[in-house]
Chain A
Amino acid sequence: MLYKIRKMTKTFKNRTILNLEQLDIEKGEIYALVGANGAGKTTLLNILSFLDKPHTGQLDFCGEPVLYGNQQLLKLRRKVVLLDQYPILFTGPVWKNIEFGLKVRSIPRAQRKKRVEEVLNLVGMGDFFHAEGHKLSGGETKRVALARALAIEPEVLLCDEPTANVDAENQAIILNILQQINSEQKTSIIFATHYLSQMRKLASHTLTLEHGHLSQQKKENSYICTVITRKENGLLCFLNNAVSLFLAGNNHPEVEKGTKIHIDPRRISIGKSKNSLAENTLRGVVVKIEQNNTLIGIDMDCGLRIRVILTKDEYRDLQPQVGEKLQIGIPDEAIEFSP
């Protein structure tokens, strides 16, 4: 376990800006941190990078409780690096900026130079070795700041909106680098984003913050549920007033008006015929297929858009095509209610 958070709060001027009951973050994974402005994403990243401390609660890093003495913090900060939403470069040339983290670790000069060249080439800024930091564009500054963060080979890379205010070309470069260092160096990455496409493309886990709380609401396959009839063996519901779905069982919570229902995209089964599927089935057309990291996302139009996530093996077995009509099955365990 990389981070373990229990009952953590952070307040600012008597206002609780972060209140996390429980959060576990695994090593070597990519986490997307999503939420509206002011949801607490930056505050959480500051706490995870040990630049800020929570007011109450427990934070463990690599199985050890975090202590906030200067020496202990220095040790922890040298394992984790935070890439700011609007990074700032120190006065001086690019190479001096990048070697900063190595210099404070007393790495010998020759080794520093070699590492600076390596990371500059990694971010595609090899020609900018002697360039002045203040002369770079926004996208270039972000790439240099990313190189500066990667130069120290952190165990954890925290990125606050890594592609905010960056053109499409630089966005793609930055996302590819993040994916590359995660797969090659097993660097754990936690990044805050507003872009769901980035979240899907890069992250294997999603953390949703709402007003400082970790939200149970998932961003995919969330619908407003309206009960049509309640029977002994289950509920017949309308999802987004578009599609009816029968939820088997009699232990469903009292569904009020506006209750959200979430269908876990990884638990939905998909097939060419109805026979092999669960009881709640819907027929739809494949409208989009995309690769998300090691998984394949398939968007089905079943009267409302439902996303199904398959492993590469499942995808190879099914070989779905855009425009093809398929059946999806929604087992009871794929359904979650949230108020």
Chain B
Amino acid sequence: MDLFFDSIQSAIALLLTRDPELLNIVWVSVKVSALSTVIASLAGIPGGFLIAYSEFYGKRLLLTCLNTLLALPTVVIGLLVYSFISRRGILGPMELLYTQKAIIIGQVILIVPLICSLTIAAISRIDTRYRKTALTLGATQKQMALVIIKEARYGIGAAVIAAFGRVIAEVGISMMLGGNAKGFTRTMTTAMALEYDKGEFVLSVALGLTLMSIAFAVNMLFHFFQGRTRVDAV
């Protein structure tokens, strides 16, 4: 237990002194994860809405595929993207491998199904009378979609938060596609794995604490806005 408490003590000291290496790792992690989440949301939320509100042949199969993709291991995505962006891959000339862009591509693939599925679930729970009411009051299809998305905003917000949590905590994609290059593609999770391998627990624990704090802060922020909107509504 001494090792654990000593590590925590040293980690807190490291955080309080705002160690430049630590801050850089945190910055890369947050930046990459935030960009992945934004891009995936831009694709996943409208995609989820369309799937939820359309009737087409094979919809059930598509939903099953989306749910299956939720269980896709990060290393599988890493391998898949690697095969496209490595020097021998068809996107090799773009020199994406071991860049932050590569991590973002992999992470977007990881969380688009998650955002899409949770958006479908959130929108499916919305009363169909909202759609009917918006249309009979003269809304266009786009205006109607905005009404539905507004009514489902808490569910969609939760989907985005869950997606952010998923990417900021993943290690497989960041390691395989980012390469864990110091000061460039080293994220919190890859750094933790490296420090663990080296037997250096202090930085690992400090990063773990930071990671948990970020996840906690993001959730608090979401609940704060959710709560405030609900209080306003009451």
- A204 to B147 alpha-carbon distance, docked (Å): 37
Q: Provided the pairs A51-B132, A88-B127, A91-B150 are in contact, do residues A104 and B233 lie with their beta carbons within 8 angstroms?
A: no
- A95 to B136 alpha-carbon distance, docked (Å): 18
Q: Provided the pairs A132-B234, A134-B233, A135-B234 are in contact, do residues A88 and B133 lie with their beta carbons within 8 angstroms?
A: yes
Surface stretch bound by B, among A18-26, A70-78, A187-195, A215-223? A70-78
Number of interface residues of B (CB under 8 A): 19
Q: Mark B184-222, 1 if CB is under 8 A from A, else 0.
A: 000000000000000000000000000000000000000
Q: Provided the pairs A84-B132, A86-B129, A104-B143 are in contact, do residues A91 and B233 lie with their beta carbons within 8 angstroms?
A: yes
- A134 to B150 alpha-carbon distance, docked (Å): 15
CB nearest to B133 among chain A residues: A88
Q: For chain A residues 61-105, which have a beta carbon within 8 Å of chain B?
A: 70, 74, 77-78, 80-82, 84, 86-88, 90-92, 100-101, 104-105
- A91 to B143 alpha-carbon distance, docked (Å): 15
**B80 lies within 8 A of chain A by Cβ:** no
Determine the chain B residues whose CB is within 8 A of the CB of A104 once the complex forms: 137-140, 143
Q: Which residue of the partner chain, among A90, A91, A92, A101, contacts B138 with CB atoms under 8 Å?
A: A101
Contact call A84/B133, Cβ cutoff below 8 A: yes
Contact call B135/A81, Cβ cutoff below 8 A: no
Q: For chain B residues 66-110, which have a beta carbon within 8 Å of chain A?
A: none
**A247 lies within 8 A of chain B by Cβ:** no
**B130 lies within 8 A of chain A by Cβ:** yes
Most B CB within 10 A of own CB, among A84, A87, A88: A88
Determine the chain B residues whose CB is within 8 A of the CB of A92 once the complex forms: 233
- A74 to B134 alpha-carbon distance, docked (Å): 11
Contact call B133/A49, Cβ cutoff below 8 A: no
Interface residues on A, range: 20 to 34
- A149 to B138 alpha-carbon distance, docked (Å): 10
- A132 to B234 alpha-carbon distance, docked (Å): 7
- A82 to B132 alpha-carbon distance, docked (Å): 9
Contact call B138/A152, Cβ cutoff below 8 A: yes
**A148 lies within 8 A of chain B by Cβ:** yes
Q: Provided the pairs A91-B150, A135-B234 are in contact, do residues A74 and B140 lie with their beta carbons within 8 angstroms?
A: yes
Determine the chain A residues whose CB is within 8 A of the CB of B150 once the complex forms: 90-91
Determine the chain B residues whose CB is within 8 A of the CB of A74 once the complex forms: 138, 140
Q: Provided the pairs A104-B143, A132-B234, A134-B233 are in contact, do residues A88 and B129 lie with their beta carbons within 8 angstroms?
A: yes
Q: Which residue of the partner chain, among B129, B135, B143, B233, contacts A87 with CB atoms under 8 Å?
A: B129
Contact call A84/B137, Cβ cutoff below 8 A: no
Most B CB within 10 A of own CB, among A88, A101, A104, A132: A104
A218–chain B nearest beta-carbon distance, Å: 30
**B9 lies within 8 A of chain A by Cβ:** no
Determine the chain A residues whose CB is within 8 A of the CB of B132 once the complex forms: 51, 82, 84
**B64 lies within 8 A of chain A by Cβ:** no
A117–chain B nearest beta-carbon distance, Å: 18
Contact call B136/A49, Cβ cutoff below 8 A: yes
Determine the chain A residues whose CB is within 8 A of the CB of B138 once the complex forms: 74, 77-78, 81, 101, 104-105, 152
Contact call A132/B233, Cβ cutoff below 8 A: yes
Determine the chain B residues whose CB is within 8 A of the CB of A82 once the complex forms: 132, 136
- A148 to B147 alpha-carbon distance, docked (Å): 15
Determine the chain A residues whose CB is within 8 A of the CB of B140 once the complex forms: 74, 104
Q: Which residue of the partner chain, among A51, A90, A134, contacts B135 with CB atoms under 8 Å?
A: A51
B96–chain A nearest beta-carbon distance, Å: 40
Q: Which residue of the partner chain, among A86, A101, A132, A135, contacts B137 with CB atoms under 8 Å?
A: A101
Q: Mark B144-156, 1 if CB is under 8 A from A, else 0.
A: 0001001100000
Contact call A84/B233, Cβ cutoff below 8 A: no
CB nearest to A100 among chain B residues: B137
- A78 to B136 alpha-carbon distance, docked (Å): 7
- A84 to B136 alpha-carbon distance, docked (Å): 10
Q: For chain A residues 129-153, which have a beta carbon within 8 Å of chain B?
A: 132, 134-135, 148-149, 152
CB nearest to B129 among chain A residues: A88
Q: Mark B116-133, 1 if CB is under 8 A from A, else 0.
A: 000000000001011011
20 further A-B contacts with Cβ under 8 Å, apart from A90-B130, A100-B137, are A51-B136, A70-B141, A74-B140, A77-B135, A77-B138, A81-B138, A82-B132, A82-B136, A84-B129, A84-B132, A88-B129, A88-B133, A90-B133, A90-B151, A104-B139, A104-B140, A132-B233, A132-B234, A148-B137, A152-B137
**Residues of A near any B CB (own CB < 8 A):** 49, 51, 70, 74, 77-78, 80-82, 84, 86-88, 90-92, 100-101, 104-105, 132, 134-135, 148-149, 152
**Residues of B near any A CB (own CB < 8 A):** 127, 129-130, 132-141, 143, 147, 150-151, 233-234
CB-based closest 3 A-B pairs: A101-B137, A88-B129, A78-B138
23 contacts between A and B (CB under 8 A): A51-B136, A74-B138, A77-B135, A77-B138, A81-B137, A82-B136, A84-B133, A86-B129, A87-B129, A87-B133, A88-B129, A90-B130, A90-B133, A90-B150, A92-B233, A100-B137, A101-B137, A104-B137, A104-B139, A104-B140, A132-B234, A148-B137, A149-B136
